[in-house]
Amino acid sequence: MASTGVAAFALGGQTLYSFADVGLGKGRKNELLSFILKSNKAVDRLKRAKALAIDEINMIDGELFDNLKFLASSIHNSEPTPWGGIQLIVSGDFFQLSPINAPNPRNEFAFESACWEKTFDVQMELTHVYRQSDSELIDFLEGIRRGQVDRDNKKFQRFLLGTTSDNLSRDQNDIETRLFPRTDDVRRVNHERLKYLGKEVVRFNVVDKGSLPWLNQLKYLIAPDELKICEGARVMLIKTPIKQLGS
């Protein structure tokens, strides 16, 4: 399972919220327990669970993590034992998207929860980069990830704008790549860039095929139902071919 619908779809699972049937999981612990006890399916899922694998743990705030631990322990009638004996396997990158509207700044991330250290016997940090092989590029990307980048660094600019000195003097509208965390902003800028190119826009409509349960899950994806493109538009490959992995 995962913290978001997109991540859960990629795993072929469900969100943590729907698994526990706790809504947003906010509020007093005893009130949440009374609420979940009304859902026989949620109680049964928690009672039968031996292990929970959760992706995108970085988007689960500390209060929610503590609340879920309390619910699991209470349903298993074993409050001293974290999560009622359920094994937790979580993954995520706390430098990426953070929890949305975390109620307590001092308890913003899951690792700041009261139960984090008691929950995990083993914690590991993955350090080897597989998607890039250029060590200098890896260092720059790590700097961006940690927010420790010198924007005036010429090498940094070349990585953003291209590898030739000519590119640095060209119109930025022609060469820059802009990144946004929200799809609405991405679509707005893409629309503006297509208008800027001034070419005929060609539209491609999506056709989805498959069994109904999987088709219903497509609503969690960020891919639009219609692709608009024109001559001169830049296209980014977002799925890495297996043969090119590590190149």
Domain ranges of the chain: 5-119, 129-174, 178-234
* pLDDT by position in tens, the chain (length 247): 787 777 777 777 778 888 888 777 777 888 888 888 888 888 888 889 899 999 999 999 998 899 899 989 988 887 677 888 999 999 999 988 888 776 677 778 999 999 999 999 999 999 899 888 888 888 888 888 888 877 666 666 666 655 444 444 445 455 567 778 777 888 898 899 899 999 999 999 988 887 776 777 676 666 778 889 999 888 877 766 656 555 4
How many C-beta atoms lie closer than 10 Å to residue 206's C-beta? 10
Confidence (pLDDT) at 90: 95
What sign does the dihedral 17-18-20-24 (CA atoms) show?
positive
Gap between the Cα atoms of 157 and 39, Å rounded: 55
Confidence (pLDDT) at 33: 87
Concatenating the DSSP letter of every residue in 31-59 gives HHHHHHTT-HHHHHHHHH-SEEEEB-GGG
What sign does the dihedral 61-63-66-69 (CA atoms) show?
negative
